[in-house]
Amino acid sequence: MATSEDAIILSALLHHLETLVLSPALPIAHPGVPFPLAGQVLPRNYLAVTFIPNKTERLTLGDEPQLKNGMLQISVFWGANEGLIKPLDVAGRIISHFNNARFVASGVRIAIVGEPWSAPPIQTVDRTNTPVTIDYRALGPER
């Protein structure tokens, strides 16, 4: 169970991602977890998550909750030579799923700030990577 504010935020954002229904479902490479697992082959299409916490804004001089800012980046990896339509559709579904989302986890209030956006697809030899960036703000629980 997550107890620090950053861990609570990441856990809540990952939980929200896992509620996204894609057809077919895509495996998710979670931050800090080996992917693929030992002995498995890297899937042709998958999502990879990067958690990017940023500087905390001090709202008061006391011990009251402070504003935590950051980004969650979800990269849509897609096999090469399959075009861009399908990965861009997946990126669009992620954007819609997170747009204006609000949730509370362990007393931490989390809001997605503005509409998430996708960067231009990055082409490598064997796949494309379409990064989707999601800005969040979180206000910790009363202390």
Tell me the per-residue pLDDT of 92-122, one tens digit each, with 9 for 90 and over: 999 999 999 999 999 999 999 999 999 999 9
* Nearest partner of 6 among 45, 56, 44, judged by Cα: 56
Q: Topology of 5-139 in CATH?
A: STM4215-like (3.30.2000)
The residue assigned the tokens 């992620």 is 94
Tell which phi-psi region holds residue 17, choosing left (phi > 0), alpha (psi between -120 and 50) or beta.
alpha
Percent of the chain with pLDDT over 90: 84
Task: Find the mean pLDDT for residues 3-9.
Answer: 93
Give phi and psi for 4, each to the nearest 5.
-80, 155
pTM over 0.75: yes
- Beta-strand (E) ranges in the chain? 28-29, 46-57, 67-79, 102-105, 108-112, 117-118, 122-123, 127-139
Report strand pairing: 46-57 vs 28-29: parallel
